[in-house]
Amino acid sequence: MDHNFLIEKAKKMRRDIVQIVSSTKSSHIGSMFSIVDILIYLFYEKIEFTKENCMQTNRDKFILSKGHASLALYSILYDKDIITKDDLYSYCKDGSCLIGHLDHKVKGVDVSTGSLGHGLSISAGMALANKMNNNDHRVYCLLGDGECNEGSVWEALIFVSNNKLKNLVIILDANKLQGFDYCEKILPESKLIDLLESMGLNFYEVNGHNFEEMKLLFNKIKDHDNDNATIIFAHTIKGKGVSFMENKLEWHYKSPNEVELKQALMELQ
Domain of 250 in residue numbering reads as 3-267
pLDDT in tens, 191-209: 999 999 999 999 999 999 9
Mean pLDDT across 143-162: 97
Q: What is the mean pLDDT of the chain?
A: 95
Confidence bin at 166 (pLDDT 50/70/90): very high
Q: How many domains does the chain have?
A: 1
- Give the whole-number percent of the chain exceeding pLDDT 90: 93
pLDDT for residue 118 is more than 80: yes
pLDDT for residue 4 is more than 80: yes
pLDDT in tens, 21-40: 999 998 899 999 999 999 99
Confidence bin at 89 (pLDDT 50/70/90): very high
pLDDT recorded at residue 198: 96
pLDDT recorded at residue 61: 97
pLDDT recorded at residue 210: 97
pLDDT recorded at residue 176: 97
Confidence bin at 44 (pLDDT 50/70/90): very high
pLDDT recorded at residue 88: 97
The pTM of the full predicted model, rounded to 2 decimals, is 0.96
* CATH number reported for the structural domain that contains residue 52 in this entry: 3.40.50.970
Q: What is the 3-state secondary structure (H, E, C) of the chain?
A: CCHHHHHHHHHHHHHHHHHHHHHHCCCCHHHHHHHHHHHHHHHHHHCCCCCCCCCCCCCCEEEECCHHHHHHHHHHHHHCCCCCHHHHHCCCCCCCCCCCCCCCCCCCCCCCCCCCCCHHHHHHHHHHHHHHCCCCCCEEEEEECHHHHCHHHHHHHHHHHHHCCCCEEEEEEECCECCCCEHHHHCCHHHHHHHHHCCCCEEEEEECCCHHHHHHHHHHHHCCCCCCCEEEEEECCCCCCCCCCCCCHHHHCCCCCHHHHHHHHHHCC
pLDDT for residue 225 is more than 70: no
